[in-house]
Amino acid sequence: MSVLNYSFYGEGIMYPPNLATNISAIQQAGWTSVILSLFHIDANGNIIYNNPMIIQNGAYVGDPAWPGQVAQLKGGSVNTILASIGGWDVSDFSNIQAIYKANNYSFQGTLLQSNFQVFRTTFPDVSIIDMDCENTYDQDSFVAFCEMLIEIGFGITFCPYTEMSFWTGSLAAIESKNPGGVKWWNLQCYAGGGGNTSATIWADAIKKAIPGFDTDGYILVSDWSRFWNVPEYGPPFWDGDCPQAVQNWISQFKGEASVGGAFIWNLDQILSYESTEQQHPDAQSCGNVGMSDYVNAMVAALS
């Protein structure tokens, strides 16, 4: 990527009734790509967006306004829209594996395949499916799932934080049949991926798995925004980074040839920060910050 890519993951804020009032601000903040997150796959192959069911039994059943609003996201600096599947502690990829095995190790003719065909026609501006696989690292079903999506007409991105051999092996398998099918990697460098302090290590692993593969600009590095963390066990606490800390963190990747930009997890936290801090004063207060502050922090870090 000759032009750096600056992206964010957005959850419920990207679905009606929340999205409409934020479209213009998203377009003008400096983002170049938008990642709708997180989509989930149920045991039957139906598609859920966070909580709402959106595609069921081969039909779109989500909010009628959403496809049009997603299409409107393109504009200003935004040129690419992605849909991310998975996340932490979810059953999506185990469900995908079970569907694959139950259908004689194929997705051909499954409801999962039909539902993603409907997804493609319902959201024609969503050109890439992002793979946020954080458990059930089954390479056979994962690769077959990616290949099914490529056949339908999607590009693919990977969102790794660990299990390097799984990701490089999957890329090699996909590349052998669909060269260029995996557009780039969104490398998690926060939370469980906080030890990822060099994109070059991942790029070298890719080149070892696929000699000659061009990793220049192939990896987006990342950080997460400041948020009030309410863990399942233990007291809540402030976590994540304000824009200045994001700039400091991302700047360690400056100059690495494989770095093609950066992303932030997530927009919901950015937009809710001010109201959350009013309820829970933050000793390391970010102040009155918004989307453009986080974009500018990433730009400054890699410039």
- Quote the CA–CA distance of 20 and 247 in Å, as a whole number: 29
- The answer, yes or no, to whether residue 1 has pLDDT greater than 50, is no
- The answer, yes or no, to whether residue 6 has pLDDT greater than 90, is yes
Q: How far is CA 231 from CA 49, 177, 215, 247, 286, in A?
A: 22, 42, 36, 26, 21
- The answer, yes or no, to whether residue 193 has pLDDT greater than 80, is yes
Sequence-distant (6+) residues with CB within 8 A of 278 are: none
- Quote the CA–CA distance of 16 and 53 in Å, as a whole number: 13
The HSE-up count of residue 216 (CA atoms within 13 Å, CB side) is: 5
Residue 209: CATH number of its domain: 3.20.20.80
**Amino acid letter for position 225:** S
Whole-number pLDDT of residue 44: 98
The mean pLDDT value of the chain amounts to 97
Q: Do 185 and 157 meet the contact criterion of CB atoms below 8 Å apart?
A: yes
> Nearest-CA neighbor of 164 among 130, 135, 201, 189?
201
Sequence-distant (6+) residues with CB within 8 A of 251 are: 300, 301, 302
Q: Tell me the pLDDT tens digit for each residue of 248-287.
A: 999 999 999 999 999 999 999 999 999 999 999 999 999 9
Structure tokens at 94: 């185990």
- The answer, yes or no, to whether residue 290 has pLDDT greater than 90, is yes
Q: How far is CA 219 from CA 199, 213, 296, in A?
A: 7, 13, 19
pTM: 0.97
What one-character DSSP code corresponds to residue 132?
E
Q: Tell me the pLDDT tens digit for each residue of 51-98.
A: 999 999 999 999 999 999 999 999 999 999 999 999 999 999 999 999
Whole-number pLDDT of residue 130: 99
Structure tokens at 158: 């990977």
Indicate the pLDDT class of residue 3, thresholds 50, 70 and 90.
confident
Q: Tell me the pLDDT tens digit for each residue of 230-257.
A: 999 999 999 999 999 999 999 999 999 9
What one-character DSSP code corresponds to residue 72?
H
Whole-number pLDDT of residue 2: 60
- Tell me the Ramachandran region of residue 174: left when phi exceeds 0, alpha when psi lies from -120 to 50, beta otherwise: alpha
Sequence-distant (6+) residues with CB within 8 A of 205 are: 164, 165, 168
- Quote the CA–CA distance of 208 and 202 in Å, as a whole number: 10
Q: Tell me the pLDDT tens digit for each residue of 15-25.
A: 999 999 999 99
State the average pLDDT over residues 98-113: 98
Structure tokens at 223: 């950080």
Which range of residues forms the domain containing residue 170?
5-302
Share of the chain above pLDDT 90, in %: 99
- Quote the CA–CA distance of 242 and 2 in Å, as a whole number: 28
User: How many domains in the chain?
Assistant: 1
- The answer, yes or no, to whether residue 158 has pLDDT greater than 60, is yes
- The answer, yes or no, to whether residue 172 has pLDDT greater than 80, is yes
Structure tokens at 184: 């780039």
